[in-house]
Structure 1
């Protein structure tokens, strides 16, 4: 079975991201909350400020990311916690050196929207041969196709659609519903990849709609509480109760979608609807023996008893072999 298949349909990735705000204890607690709420995967971001943001070009953001850093040992401890709970550990790796020590514990690597054009990082991730998830915020269709080509050029494993997921994403926090553009997912199918959605809206409606549209991967920010938090990501994150509500909605969506095979269902047969709702051919008036059958003396009525309405044309032009009372179900033995 593909990695990108969750317990409730889509693979649910709870993105802790920076919501731990540099606290290892908070990171561990958030992982536990996500696991208990039913996430299929728990995701963290692995970075160091000095290998992510230039100290000279953007000193403020450099300081921000340095404040949110966790150590390699802390990331490995988080990975063990997630894996011991039977869930997948996923990471956005923003430092090329981290691939070597993370690889033994990783279930899938995430390439964030900002790194879709970071060729050295794309190649480092692809050389691992691990499942990859690619977010596509900030990108146009040509850039997405280019990134997929670069990944596949590094490792033949990514020719398989269940090894590479491409997610529709809009890189703003938060975004309006009108900026989610979920229909873009359909265009990704032509790339031969798994498709999904990385959410930056408020609430879970966009995630529900994405699931109904066929998303195989759903990524959402996750927190313990939004109230009283200044870091922006908390406000667009799902809390544990939100995730539980989303899972209930996904179960309903999966039930509503049902089977792709069109067939008569047992419930329709049990209630006799193929007979009571469908029509048969009946005399519209009394028909004398020997009279020619046609539109002037035939009609189609419920129930479907006698000669099926699909055989109407086969009756036209034939003759009645006996008198046929109006509205009496017909029998082929009575047709000459």
Structure 2
């Protein structure tokens, strides 16, 4: 979730992580304030009995007793919002900048980095509060050590949660979290790995956003059933898809533009990506119009029965293989270029 600008593009050394962390402080404070407002909103909905969550889990009706769960949900909402913002900023930065853009690319890149760091922090807070709630509410048998360990497995180990829709929901969320960390931190290692290798890996960060949105839109307890929260979250996916389409058609780097692509593999990759993004836009529009997205609907089995953990694991394996292949292709191309120039490898 960090910038697509490389050392070669700017001529500058990579930004220091500590400098970006300091720059992210105002952004993180804003995120915490918003999280507090969302918590108050969710708490009010529970106290007044209008939360759709209570139709599935009525025992959560005591908002004060389960405040950690509702705070966990508030952090989940703010994490998705910040993931949306950093994804939008990244797509704007990596596309050809329009002449009317009032903000210089360097500033967009800086915002992209800081919002990425904030997003990871919000995702961790979301998972950690779920963990603490599990520790608090689990049966007393086994003592604190046993309860803490079981809660850790369920909250932080992919596949560790084994009941209900959480088998898929928590798996998706954890995969997004664990993929976000290396794909973002790789930015600060690009002076060692090389700009091309970093870019090859960073292109997969869009998967993190897809997993995060999937985790929330279909399984988030506060968007269960039809209503404006669910519809609003789906509508927010349209600009992401549109910007991704623009990014593919008009990337900032000239070497990535369609007319400069060489070889059937590069052109084929771009064509498949364009078709996939175009289809995604149509799917989102269909969901907004029909109100049906595969999530929970009163009286109808939802996504918990249509998607199973093995499907998610299979998709993850395909993703990891694709990442390895992408890096291998880039490294092979770099070796060929070095050999043609007759220089030493880096």
The structure in which a higher percent of residues are strand is 1
TM-score under structure 1 normalisation? 0.26
TM-score under structure 2 normalisation? 0.25
